A = this chain, B = another copy of it.
Amino acid sequence: MQIAILLYDRLTALDAVGPYEVFSRIPEAQVVFTGERTGPVRTDIGSLGLVVDAPLEEVTRPDIVVVPGGPGQTALMADGPVHEWLRAVDATSTWTTSVCTGSLILGAAGLLKGKRATSHWLALEQLPALGATPVSERVVFDGKYVTAAGVSSGIDMALTLANRLGGDFLSQAVQLGIEYDPQPPHDAGSPAKAPAEVVEFLRSRSRFVLEGAE
């Protein structure tokens, strides 16, 4: 089973590494990081380089495709090599997935038309223009399309998919292996749970949060 994770400049690191950390622990799974050019891409704030090992043209039949989000998503909304690759691999993938604003890229490539999908909570409103029905849930399945909410939700998406692929024991073993027993200091991880002033603060800086724009 091959899992292809798309990398591109100014992606959000955890969007890609969360699912990687889960999928790489599935026996028989081979994870490959792919992108337009081999070599390092830099993350959203530029302080981490992640390496593309295989160019898109060499990754032709992944079983699972993962599209992370991040500020660089805005540069991938126009048709081009990434959209062409996504449509080509989607034709034979078992699961086509995204994390955060990665769903906007999938949508722009025409793959979410008529589908229920999610995204970073600040980006949900952008989905209808791409033909998708926004759903405010952490992990959304519509047929073989699996979209996850913001950034850290890719961990839950991958565990949920591991559960479908290999059952309870597999996903529990992976979860215990990565000791995913979350205990954040606050219960503020969704707009419904965070204090209103925190939600408003991020809303007022929405373009910065999503696109890195000042």
Contacts A51-B40, A138-B181 given; indicate if A172 touches B194 (C-beta within 8 A): yes
CA distance A184 to B182 in the complex (A): 9
- Say whether A146 faces chain B, with CB atoms less than 8 Å apart: no
- Say whether A94 faces chain B, with CB atoms less than 8 Å apart: no
Contact of A13 among B17, B30, B156 (CB under 8 A): B17
CA distance A211 to B170 in the complex (A): 20
> Is B51's CB under 8 angstroms from A50's CB?
yes
State the oligomeric state as a number of copies. Answer: 2
Chain B residues whose C-beta falls within 8 Å of the C-beta of A129 in the assembled complex = none
Contacts A31-B47, A33-B48, A151-B21 given; indicate if A179 touches B172 (C-beta within 8 A): no
Chain B residues whose C-beta falls within 8 Å of the C-beta of A159 in the assembled complex = 184-186
Name the residue on B nearest A14 (C-beta).
B21
Contacts A13-B21, A14-B178, A31-B47 given; indicate if A168 touches B186 (C-beta within 8 A): yes
- Say whether A149 faces chain B, with CB atoms less than 8 Å apart: yes
Chain B residues whose C-beta falls within 8 Å of the C-beta of A197 in the assembled complex = 169
> Is B201's CB under 8 angstroms from A173's CB?
yes
A2 to chain B, nearest CB (A): 11
Contact of A172 among B17, B31, B177, B188 (CB under 8 A): B188
Q: List 18 A-B contacts (CB under 8 A).
A: A12-B21, A13-B17, A13-B21, A24-B43, A30-B47, A33-B49, A40-B49, A49-B51, A50-B51, A155-B184, A171-B185, A171-B186, A172-B195, A173-B201, A175-B189, A176-B189, A178-B189, A179-B190
Apart from A151-B178, A153-B181, A177-B202, what 10 extra A-B contacts exist at CB < 8 Å? A40-B49, A47-B53, A49-B51, A120-B179, A175-B188, A176-B188, A176-B189, A176-B202, A179-B190, A182-B189
- Say whether A75 faces chain B, with CB atoms less than 8 Å apart: no
- Say whether A133 faces chain B, with CB atoms less than 8 Å apart: no
> Is B47's CB under 8 angstroms from A24's CB?
yes
Name the residue on B nearest A169 (C-beta).
B198
Interface residues in A42-92 (C-beta closer than 8 Å to B): 43-45, 47-51, 53
